């Protein structure tokens, strides 16, 4: 049994195995309907319990389909209907019950501490479906999408990120850049620089990360451009002030022109005003393929957690 909480805690070998398995499974499903099971149904009889303390569309749907296609089933709990949310049951007891009734637990939470506390008490795998500090299933899926589109290992590509330098998605992207050994340029306002601890960790682990406070410098010659909402779900900031601070960090056609000629645009969604409609709906944008690929990668993440990766 394995947990999937942060990319930095998982070996490069296992992460690459997850990507490879997702590729194989996706290839085999070219003609399958969405609810048709994979022939081997490796998670037959297993139940994934998922719980969201924050909104979700893609993560909810993709984990649901992932476990279904693997032959299992999913139950989605509303966190506000649990005794836990009212403070009348402990995490320890809740975790014990989840572990007795289900076979894996996927949690989207507003507290990294809570995730750790659940982990301490669970005897079934726990998966991080987004926390304030990381969004590992998203970023692993994005690595898959990039390799699928570019038809080469991500280690041979230059990736750039324009936007908040210190949110859950960029944190996981920094961790992925070390684990998959790819060049990562981060373009953000000075005030919104990446997490120092994480950057030090990346330096110690041969990370190839460069930080710029200028969009052009960060973007030029890149194969892939990522961005994300300026205001994340957990952001307790002065929103209008923060949005203003990012005025020079919007992704438009001019910014896209700094990429390599066949450069692509990715966004985990939902989007805000950080990207123009023209770019988001344009030819270089691969956001719909990116979103759907979450299903394939969640499946291999589940198999990793269940110790069933081929
Ligand atoms: N990208 C992503 O995690 O989307 P949701 O918040 O809709 O799950
Ligand atoms: N950084 C965003 C990601 C949403 C999927 C947030 O946390 O709101």
Q: Kindly report the CATH number assigned to the domain that includes residue 285.
A: 3.40.50.1370
* Mean pLDDT within 254-277: 98
Phi, psi of 77 (to 5 degrees): -95, 145
Ligand 1 mean position, distance from CA 289 (Å): 14
Question: Which residues lie below 8 Å from residue 296, measured CB to CB, with a gap of 6+?
Answer: 22, 23, 25, 26, 66, 141, 144
Ligand 1 mean position, distance from CA 204 (Å): 31
Based on the fold, state whether residues 141 and 283 are members of the same structural domain.
Answer: yes
Q: What is the pLDDT of residues 6-38, one digit of tens each?
A: 999 999 999 999 999 999 999 999 999 999 999
* Mean pLDDT within 31-46: 97
* Mean pLDDT within 281-291: 98
Q: What is the pLDDT of residues 113-159, one digit of tens each?
A: 999 999 999 999 999 999 999 999 999 999 999 999 999 999 999 99
| Rounded CA Rg of the chain | 19
Write out the residue range of the structural domain in which residue 31 sits: 7-135+292-305
pLDDT at res. 28 = 96
| Ligand nearest to the Cα of 133, by number | 2
Checking if the pLDDT of 234 tops 90, the result is: no
Q: What is the pLDDT of residues 154-180, one digit of tens each?
A: 999 999 999 999 999 999 999 999 999
| Ligand nearest to the Cα of 268, by number | 1
Based on the fold, state whether residues 23 and 74 are members of the same structural domain.
Answer: yes
Determine the residue of 111, 233, 237 to mutate for testing ligand 2's pocket, defined as the one with the most ligand atoms within 8 A of the Cβ atom.
233
pLDDT at res. 194 = 98
- The CA distances from residue 233 to 55, 108, 130, 194, 220, in Å, are 8, 11, 10, 18, 30
Phi, psi of 61 (to 5 degrees): -65, -40
pLDDT at res. 208 = 97
Please check whether residue 94 is in contact with residue 84, taking contact to mean a CB–CB distance below 8 angstroms.
Answer: yes
* Mean pLDDT within 216-233: 98
pLDDT at res. 310 = 78
Residue 111, exposed/middle/buried by CB under 10 A (0-12, 13-18, 19+)?
middle
Based on the fold, state whether residues 125 and 151 are members of the same structural domain.
Answer: no
Instruction: Please state the domain count of the chain.
Output: 2
Based on the fold, state whether residues 94 and 143 are members of the same structural domain.
Answer: no
* Mean pLDDT within 35-48: 97
Within-domain flag for 243: yes
Based on the fold, state whether residues 247 and 285 are members of the same structural domain.
Answer: yes
Ligand 2 mean position, distance from CA 42 (Å): 31
Based on the fold, state whether residues 118 and 246 are members of the same structural domain.
Answer: no
Question: Which residues lie below 8 Å from residue 239, measured CB to CB, with a gap of 6+?
Answer: 231
Half-sphere exposure of 41 (CA within 13 A, CB side): 11
The pair of three-digit structure tokens given for residue 226, joined into one six-digit string: 């990522």
Protein residue closest via CA to atom 1 of ligand 1: 268
Percent over 90 (pLDDT), the chain: 99
Please check whether residue 172 is in contact with residue 5, taking contact to mean a CB–CB distance below 8 angstroms.
Answer: no
Question: Which residues lie below 8 Å from residue 204, measured CB to CB, with a gap of 6+?
Answer: none
- The CA distances from residue 44 to 70, 187, 190, in Å, are 7, 45, 50
pLDDT at res. 152 = 97
pTM reported for the whole predicted model: 0.98
Percent over 70 (pLDDT), the chain: 100
Which phi-psi region, left, alpha or beta, contains residue 269 (left: φ > 0; alpha: ψ -120 to 50)?
A: left
Within-domain flag for 310: no
Within-domain flag for 171: yes
* Mean pLDDT within 50-57: 97
Ligand 1 pocket, residues with Cβ under 6 angstroms = 56-59, 130, 138, 268-269
Checking if the pLDDT of 61 tops 90, the result is: yes
* Mean pLDDT within 272-284: 98
pLDDT at res. 68 = 98
Based on the fold, state whether residues 154 and 280 are members of the same structural domain.
Answer: yes
Based on the fold, state whether residues 87 and 37 are members of the same structural domain.
Answer: yes
Based on the fold, state whether residues 107 and 206 are members of the same structural domain.
Answer: no
The pair of three-digit structure tokens given for residue 170, joined into one six-digit string: 């960029």
Within-domain flag for 1: no
pLDDT at res. 108 = 98
* Mean pLDDT within 260-288: 98
* Mean pLDDT within 95-121: 97
Determine the residue of 168, 171, 275 to mutate for testing ligand 2's pocket, defined as the one with the most ligand atoms within 8 A of the Cβ atom.
168
* Mean pLDDT within 196-215: 98
């Amino acid at each position: 049994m394995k947990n999937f909480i942060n990319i930095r805690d998982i070996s490069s070998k296992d992460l690459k195995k997850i990507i490879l398995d997702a590729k194989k499974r996706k290839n085999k499903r070219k003609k399958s309907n969405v609810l048709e099971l994979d022939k081997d149904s490796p998670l037959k009889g297993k139940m994934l319990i998922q719980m969201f303390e924050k909104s979700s569309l893609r993560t909810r749907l993709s984990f649901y389909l992932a476990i279904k296609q693997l032959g299992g089933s999913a139950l989605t709990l509303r966190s506000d209907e649990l005794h836990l949310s009212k403070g009348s049951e402990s995490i320890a007891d809740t975790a014990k019950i989840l572990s007795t009734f289900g076979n894996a637990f996927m949690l989207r939470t507003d507290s990294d501490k809570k995730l750790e506390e659940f982990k301490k008490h669970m005897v079934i795998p726990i998966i991080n479906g987004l926390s304030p500090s990381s969004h590992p299933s998203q970023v692993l899926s994005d690595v898959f999408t990039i390799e699928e589109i570019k038809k080469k290992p991500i280690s041979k590509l230059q990736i750039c990120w324009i936007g908040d330098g210190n949110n859950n998605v960029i944190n996981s992207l920094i961790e992925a850049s070390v684990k998959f050994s790819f060049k990562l340029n981060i373009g953000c306002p000075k005030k919104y620089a990446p997490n120092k601890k994480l950057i030090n960790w990346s330096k110690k682990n041969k990370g190839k990360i460069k930080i710029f406070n200028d969009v052009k410098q960060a973007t030029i010659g890149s194969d892939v451009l990522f961005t994300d909402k300026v205001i994340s779900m957990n952001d307790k900031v002065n929103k209008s002030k923060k949005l203003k601070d990012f005025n020079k960090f919007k992704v438009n056609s001019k910014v896209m022109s700094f990429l390599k000629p066949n450069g692509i645009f990715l966004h985990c969604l939902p989007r805000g005003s950080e990207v123009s409609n023209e770019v988001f709906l344009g030819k270089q944008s691969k956001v719909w393929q990116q979103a759907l690929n979450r299903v394939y990668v969640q499946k291999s993440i589940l198999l990793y957690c269940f110790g069933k990766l081929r």
